[in-house]
Amino acid sequence: MAVVDSHIHSEGRSVEDLRFMAKNGIEKAVTCAFYPIEPRFPETLIDLARKLTEFEPMRGESAGMKIYSAIGIHPRCIPPDWQKVLEFIEGYSGYIAIGEIGLEKGSDEEKEILKAQILLAKKLDIPVIIHTPKKNKELILEKTLEILDTVSFPEDLALIDHNSLKTVKTVLDKGYWAGITVQPGKLSVEEAVKIVEEFGDEKLIANSDTGFSESDMLAVMKFFDACKNERVAKKNADEFFGI
Ligand SMILES: [Zn+2]
């Protein structure tokens, strides 16, 4: 059985790592935009988007993994003149979603940028991958949901990621897809399985968020091995992204 890792940062992994993932059943992955230092120019993120769509799928292919790309402005790497990045994205192609986006601290600037990206996704009729932070997760989630409400964003096109046992119900009750990230410091395999048992598998999507920091590249496969839930490890991601 092959699974999908719905949220990785392939740039932070070598071709050998990607091959290791593919050989262990991670057949497809969605690589998300994130720049590990604060960009000094909007062009940094524009070139990052180009790299994620033009170069990363090629590296995936050589490793035996199908890589799809999500591009956008992560709240921890906002460049000056960020509107230029969105103008570029609007005229660009080769990506399947806008992400990862979201709020980190919940500042007015972050909110403005998140809203602009959600509006763009709505206009383009494509999915969004929305991050929730480690700190103040519940409070920031509330603010994020308010913004989605304000723009009447289609529930089926939003994946709210990095849920905890505490946030997953709120997300599902609102009708959004809920990401469960199995990674040290986020969820253990056992916690992820518990979430599926407790809340059902209809709109949950598993991922590893593997990339630049310490993580378990095989997290989605380990989750699948523990519960054999094909929907959460593969089918829901296929449906949400249309891949
Ligand atoms: Zn991420």
Contact 243, 237 (CB under 8 A): yes
Confidence at residue 95, expressed as pLDDT on a 0 to 100 scale: 98
Centre of ligand 1 to C-alpha 210, Å, is 7
Residue 33's domain is classified under what CATH number? 3.20.20.140
Centre of ligand 1 to C-alpha 229, Å, is 23
Assigned token pair, 236: 């829901």
For helices 108-124 and 137-150, the axis angle rounded to 10 degrees is: 50
Q: Can you give the residue range of the structural domain that contains 133? A: 3-241
195, pLDDT greater than 90: yes
Count the domains in the chain: 1
pLDDT band at 184 (very low <50, low <70, confident <90, very high): confident
Cβ neighbours around 181 below 10 Å, total: 25
Centre of ligand 1 to C-alpha 7, Å, is 6
Cα 73 from Cα 85, distance rounded (Å): 8
Q: How do strand 128-131 and strand 177-181 relate by DSSP bridges?
A: unpaired
Centre of ligand 1 to C-alpha 73, Å, is 12
Centre of ligand 1 to C-alpha 177, Å, is 16
pLDDT band at 1 (very low <50, low <70, confident <90, very high): confident
Centre of ligand 1 to C-alpha 9, Å, is 6
How does pLDDT run across 155-172, given as a tens digit for each residue? 999 999 999 999 999 999
Centre of ligand 1 to C-alpha 34, Å, is 7
pTM metric for this prediction: 0.97
Centre of ligand 1 to C-alpha 1, Å, is 25
How does pLDDT run across 19-57, given as a tens digit for each residue? 999 999 999 999 999 999 999 999 999 999 999 999 999
